[in-house]
Chain A
Amino acid sequence: MVRDYNNRHALEQKLRSAPTPPAADHLMVGHWRTIATVLARTGQEEAVRQAIASVPELSLRFSGPGEWLVVSEVEAPSGLMRHLEELCGGRAYVVDQSDGRAVFRLAGPNARSILAKGIGLDLHPAVFALGGSANVLCGHIPVNLARTDENAFELIVARSYAESLFDDLMRMGRAFDLTAAFSD
């Protein structure tokens, strides 16, 4: 028997309703985003970090010592894998996570107040600097949090937790009339 498998976004069921106009605080769900984990071999941590950081289209998210999530908005998963293999040249292990993770982008003047309801990290602009990233707990869900703009944050979460995290974030943002929609 031949089966067709369709790629379905983890939030397709949740975000079906007609999009409402975005409020000041808005949660954007990246439709398809290319993500990979990179784990450097012992002693190659700095070389790998520099090689990937030298490419402006690739965003490095700190995950642990010698370990990152690499996010690309322009490349397809296979292209990113090839690109990373070239850059790291046997100095790191690269695994595609594009179908395994979901990306949320929370932006707005109250983004910090919303996140502070579930995240025990100092989010003050002077402490969590632009371009900073960290693995943290949001409520009971492990996420990778990154500051991507003045008042914008990206959360990367395991696909199976995406619906729960979405519900939690919407509840955390209810006092600020947080809205949500797919990005494209």
Chain B
Amino acid sequence: MASLITCPHCGVRPKEEFAIRGDASRGRPEPMDSDEAWHDYVYVRANPRGRTFEHWHHIAGCRRFLVVERDTATHEVYSVVDAVEFLQRAER
């Protein structure tokens, strides 16, 4: 249990309690956007090295979606916020 994530609702927890959904920075296409846009959104994944934003679902804890800002190479964690707060910050 080396990888620890500090959930804003539950405190420090091992990664085993989370399900990782992936990139949190890309927006969802509009319903009538092209098939290519939807295909990219649903199936195409980058595999970035370095600092990224990811959705982590605290499935065995508070069951909230979180946005974890971390380095994919070193697993240094820079910030963890609730996904709702992440959205509100992006809209501001």
Q: Identify the A interface with B (CB < 8 A).
A: 63-65, 67, 120-122, 134-137, 142
Contact check: which of B17, B62, B82 meets A137 at CB < 8 Å? Answer: B17
Instruction: Annotate B1-23 by CB proximity to A: 1 below 8 A, 0 otherwise.
Output: 10000000111111011000000
Interface class of chain A by DSSP: strand
Chain A residues whose C-beta falls within 8 Å of the C-beta of B63 in the assembled complex: 64, 135
Return the CB mask of B48-63 against A: 1 if under 8 Å, else 0.
Answer: 0000000000011111
Closest 7 CB pairs of A and B: A64-B62, A120-B14, A137-B60, A142-B60, A135-B61, A120-B1, A137-B17
Contact, CB under 8 Å: B13 / A121: yes
A87 → chain B, closest Cβ, in Å? 23
Range class of the B interface residue count: 10 to 19
With the chains together, A64 CA to B9 CA distance in Å? 7
Residues of B within 8 A of A137 (CB): 14, 16-17, 60
Q: How far is the CB of B68 from chain A (nearest CB, A)?
A: 17
> Which residues in B have their C-beta under 8 angstroms from that of A142?
59-60
A65 in contact with B9 (CB, 8 Å): yes
Cross-chain contact A122 with B17 (CB below 8 angstroms): no
- Chain B residue contacts of A122, Cβ below 8 A: 11-12
Q: Does any Cβ of A come within 8 Å of B70's Cβ?
A: no
For residue A136, which residues in chain B have a CB less than 8 angstroms away from its CB?
A: 13, 17, 60-61
Task: Give chain A nearest CB distance to B81 CB in angstroms.
Answer: 13
